[in-house]
Structure formats: structure tokens, C-alpha cells
Structure 1
Amino acid sequence: MSAPSPKNFEPKAPVQLDPPKDDPISLDELKVADGSYEGRPVYVAIKGTVFDVSSNRSSYGPGGSYHVFAGKDASRALAKSSVKPEDAIAKWDDLGDKEKEVLGDWYTYFSKRYNIVGRVVGSNP
């Protein structure tokens, strides 16, 4: 099973997004934002930018098709269109140009649908 292609960037229904935040988010904070903890948001990071995907908990929460991305920087998995847990890591700088382009597409896709709530501490912009 592979992740869908993000070629259509515009959401089907308009999304009202908050201004992006640049709050520092530690790896520990990110890890517990995987949908497993009642009352906590669900976050997915891409290239160090943290998106709040709580509005799509059914997909990113426990049992969801994309839960593997939740609470992690899923850059490599998204670039490779993979839902393998071992690919859901922040390392993406060694990928080929095509995979980096796919990752950029995913960043654009997420940025049009989900609020940016911060940046993973220690990540490179």
C-alpha cells in the first residue's frame, strides 16, 4: 500500500487556516501527539515543520491508514510514497531529486489543509 499522490493541492472544501506558528516542539512532544492520548492533538512533521492533523484524526489517529506518520517527522516516507514504519523518519537530504520534489508536493498539500503549529527542535529548515 502506498500513500496517495498529492498532485491536487487545493482542498475540495475551503479550509480556514490560522497564521503559521514557529513554536519549538521537542521530539518528545511530537511523539505523544500521535493520537493515542486523549485530549492531545495529532501532529505530523514534514521537513521539521509541524502540522496539526487533528481534524483528520480518522486517518492519522490509531487504526487510521496514515497513523504511521503521526507523532513523527514523516519526511522520508512521504517522499518515497511509503507507509512503512521504518520510512517514517526525518532523514530526507540523501534522497534523489524526484523524491525531494514529491516531498515538496506533500509539504504544499499539508500546508493548504492543516495549521502549522511549530518546528521540531533541532531540525534544519
Structure 2
Amino acid sequence: MPFEPKQKVDLDPPKDDIIGLDFLAKCDGKNPEYPTYVAIKGTVFDVSGNKAYSPDGSYHVFTGKDASRALAQSSLKPEDCRPEWDDLSDEHKKVLDDWYIFFSKRYNIKGKVAGASNL
């Protein structure tokens, strides 16, 4: 099965809480009293504890927002970290779907982005 983690990950049942953009923005790894979240296609994943998403980590650019477009384009540019992806090529949409599967096998789903239309 593709995208399976090397070590088994025990995940909590997915939550469907509505997470506002203001709260999501605080979950960028810089605030110790908040978890670290990355949203993909409107789904919020808890990446707390993964150093790659910490403020000095290579994937920090994705935290505290819906980074769907950047993930689809394999981009680390802050301006690409936005939720709009429906205008991308089928190839990029497939990459985004692959990232979604990858995250869903490794990180707990904490809810949905409030008002998300990019599901």
C-alpha cells in the first residue's frame, strides 16, 4: 500500500470540528500554547511534534494555514501556501491527493477549516 508510514501510527478517530482561520493562524508552531496544524483541502492535520514543521523546520511554511496549492505544486514559497487549487492541472491535483493520503496516514485530523470551499 503506498504512503504507509515506516512505523505504525496510532491515530485518533478523525474529528469534524470547525476550525476558524484566526485559530488556525495561531497554530503555526511559534506559539507553545497552541498545537501545530497544517490544512490540506480544508482538512486540518495536527503535525505537532514533527520537527520539520517547527519554526526552523524545512516545512514550517505550511503551518497555520491551508497549504493545498503549495503542496500540489511541490512549492515552498509562502505565496503558494493558499487553499485555492481547483484551477491546477490534473497532474498537480494528483500530487495534492497523494499528499492528503500521506498526511491522513500519519497525523490526526482535528477538523475542517471554517468556510472551506476547497474540499
TM-score (norm 1): 0.92
> Aligned pair count?
118
Structure-2 residue corresponding to 1:87:
80
**What SS does the corresponding residue of 1:98 show, helix, strand or coil?**
helix
Instruction: Return the offset for 1:111.
Output: 0.1
Structure 2 Cα separation of the partners of residues 32 and 64 of structure 1: 17
- 2:43 is the alignment partner of 1:49: yes
* Distance in 2 between residues matched to 1:31 and 1:91, nearest whole Å: 17
Deviation at 1:78, TM superposition (A): 0.2
Give the superposition deviation at 1:40. Answer: 1.1
Identity of aligned residues (%): 65
2:9 aligned residue: 15
> Quick one: which of 16, 22, 25 aligns to 1:28?
22
Q: Which runs of 5+ in 2 are unaligned?
A: none
CA–CA distance in 2 between the matches of 1:41 and 1:71?
Answer: 9
Unaligned runs of 5+ in 1: 1-7
Instruction: Name the amino acid aligned to 1:82.
Output: S
How far did 1:103 drift?
0.1
Structure 2: which amino acid aligns with 1:122? G
Partners of 1:19 and 1:93 lie apart in 2 by: 28
Query: Where do 4+ consecutive residues of structure 1 move more than 4 Å?
Result: none
Distance 1:45 1:78 in 2: 10
CA distance in 2, matches of 1:94, 1:54: 30
- Match for residue 110 of structure 1? 103
The separation in 2 between residues aligned to 1:31 and 1:12, in whole angstroms, is 30
Specify the alignment match of 1:40 in structure 2.
34
Question: So what's the TM-score if we normalise by structure 2?
Answer: 0.96
Measured in 1, the distance between the counterparts of 2:115 and 2:34 equals: 22
Q: What do residues 48-82 of structure 1 show as CA deviations (whole Å, max 9, x unaligned)?
A: 000000021x1111010000000010000000000
